[in-house]
Amino acid sequence: MPRTAESSQRSSPQIEPHVEETLLDGSYEIVEELLPKRRIAPYAYSESHTVVPTSSDGEAPMHAVVFRVTIHDREQAEAFLKEQIVPGVSQAPGFVAGYWANIGGNEGTSMVVFESEEAARQVADEVEPPPADIVTVESIEVGEVVAHA
């Protein structure tokens, strides 16, 4: 689809000319210049330049499902993860991102982020656990995402 002037304006970053800091004597100094401002869904801006997660419609915060597991057979567990879990979870409604980590020894954890609490809870309730001889699921928790970097 050809780009129109209107669509070009919407996709180009906004430029914030400078950020001022007011000094005690009432004067100010410029502490940052020409900061490009980009909105990368599903994140919004804040004045402190911290990325504040929101849903794609900007109304509700994102939620994450946090899994903790004990790994009994690392090779089979990673194969199951890459062949079954990751493809299935990444196609779930509201999926944003997922990270799986070995946190030492036979312990693993993951955080899978969704656009809404409803989407996160659905995955937490419906996820099919791996075979017990490969991995034991120790806990599954759902929580609100409060910050992202």
CATH no. for residue 121? Answer: 3.30.70.100
* Other CB atoms within 10 Å distance of the CB of residue 81: 20
Residues of 82-105 as b/e, b for ≥16 C-beta within 10 angstroms?
Answer: eeebeeebeebebbbebebeeeee
* Other CB atoms within 10 Å distance of the CB of residue 134: 19
Residues 67 and 48 occupy one common structural domain = no
pTM of the model as a whole: 0.61
Q: What is the pLDDT of residue 136?
A: 96
Residue percentage of the chain with pLDDT more than 90: 54
Residues 78 and 126 occupy one common structural domain = yes
Evaluate whether residue 99 is within a structural domain.
Answer: yes
Quote the tokens at residue 131: 């075979």
Count the domains in the chain. Answer: 2
Going by DSSP bridges, is the β-strand pair 107-114/63-71 parallel, antiparallel, or unpaired? Answer: antiparallel
- Full domain range(s) for residue 29: 5-53
From CA 40, how far away is CA 74, in angstroms rounded?
Answer: 36
Evaluate whether residue 122 is within a structural domain.
Answer: yes
Residue 122 identity: Q
pLDDT-based confidence at 129, cuts 50/70/90? confident
Evaluate whether residue 25 is within a structural domain.
Answer: yes
User: CA Rg, the chain, in Å?
Assistant: 21
Residues 67 and 113 occupy one common structural domain = yes
